[in-house]
Amino acid sequence: MAELFEMPQASPTMETGTILAWRKEEGAELAPQDVIAEVETDKAAMEIEVFDPGFLLKILVPEGEEVPAGTPIAIIGKAADEDISALLAEAKATPAKPAAKQAAPEAVEEEAPAEAPAEPAAAEPAAPAVDGLPPATWHGKPLHEAIMEPVHVFGRAGGASSGPFGGRVRSSPAARKAARERGVDIDRVAGTGPRGRVTVSDVEGFTAAPAPTPDIARMRGDVEVRNSQMRRTIAKRLTQVWRDAPVFYLTARFDCDRLVVFREQLKDAGLKVSYNDIIIKAVARALVDVPEVNASWGEQAITRHRDVNIGMAVALEDGLITPVVFRADELGLAAIAEATRELATRARDRKLRDHEYTGSTFTVSNLGMMDIEHFTAIINPPEAGILAVGGLQQEPVVRDGQLVAAWQLRVTMTCDHRVIDGALGARFLQAVRRYVENPALLAA
């Protein structure tokens, strides 16, 4: 019997999905584990499989269209000639689910004013309005044309020539003659005579203003780039944590001469371990030493996680994703290096599975490879902290009263103050410092 095939929810945060490509055509026979479509979710591009044999009888959502999770996207049946008219009617009758939550009508009504504001009292008769503008006034009082001619700011009045501000131009015959002889557009000359009259001296002293600078953005044409599922999810989740979590920042500078020597020794031993791999290991061990930081906020209780799962921020073309190194405290440096390389490669190829980018308990974001010395990062919810790692560089430092060049590394920890107090965050960074400045401890 034919049935509607719905857009799956690939992750707990996924609300909508975009059909990137259909891998099967209508009428195609399907076998178990056949991939019928590729879908972009809020985290990655995923392949949709079927688990039973059958036929793809109808494609309901074309490529490139975005629909909410749970929306019918195809009809799959047991036979190629099944009658699907009833299912087509059901799919058309199914109301589209909103991709984003909207305010309830009651909330909108509450925000509306109870009564319309009272109409302001009518002002005294003033000079007539021009081109929809309000009547001209002087210090709030109506103008009388017998006293002062109102300036028409925009447009022309009565078909008369307009001045530099769009009003009527008054000029003497001599001034108009002088303008013609000099090739000056008298409409652009500001008059200094009575009631703004343009005089001969005004024409003789007129200097044409330079041509306005062209609007480069308009000339080149602005380009609107449609927000991907990932970009919208990043915006929503990070805006939420920025709004809801009271955060503060702790910055520390580590001496890394031993770290540089330690990594060179690993390279000489044939181990491809990056500085970021060592930082991840140091953070994992520090979370074991200070387990209060390996936690998440809850309204009823703070959850302290038993496993130390480190998320690592990976930049993509349209955002970022945080694949997870699970139980990083139990892994050696070589195993961490292998895991980070594989996860980063599949993250950039949009091939991560949903369980590989969820479940982190603390995140490390490293921009040192981009020559960033110091930055702050936004917490990846529901974690309570994130460590922003800058670039490793040589700097002048004072040691034993002597000025020497030394390898230095700056890190900044963003802390959710609901879980981590200042002293606790400082104690955690002291633990990280201990491992970074004495990396031989990580090999133990």
Report the alpha-carbon distance of residue 244 to residue 238 in Å, rounded.
10
389: exposed, middle or buried (Cβ count in 10 Å: 0-12, 13-18, 19+): buried
Residues of 181-217 as b/e, b for ≥16 C-beta within 10 angstroms?
eeebebbebebeeeebebbbebbeebeeeeeeeeeee
420: nearest Cα among 245, 259, 277 = 245
Known catalytic membership, residue 417: yes
Whole-angstrom Cα distance, residue 410 to residue 389?
Answer: 6
- Give the single-character DSSP code of 51: S
**Residue 422 parent element (H or E):** helix 422-437
CA distance 205 to 187: 14
Q: Is 347 exposed, middle or buried (0-12, 13-18, 19+ CB in 10 A)?
A: buried
Residue 326 is given by DSSP the state: T
305: three-class secondary structure by DSSP: coil
Q: From CA 270, how far away is CA 194, in angstroms rounded?
A: 91
Q: What is the DSSP letter of 150?
A: P
Catalytic residue among 144, 355, 374, 417: 417
List 410's β-bridge partners, or say none.
253
CA distances from 181 to 185, 192, 199, 229, 231 (A): 11, 20, 14, 65, 62
What is the spatial distance between Cα 431 and Cα 425, in angstroms, rounded to a whole number?
Answer: 10
Q: How many helices (H) and strands (E) does the chain have?
A: 10, 21
- Residue 333 main-chain phi, psi, to 5 deg: -60, -40
C-alpha span between 291 and 308 (Å, rounded): 9
- Report the C-alpha gap between 255 and 394 in whole angstroms: 10
The DSSP letter of residue 340 is H
Q: Cite the active site residues.
A: 417
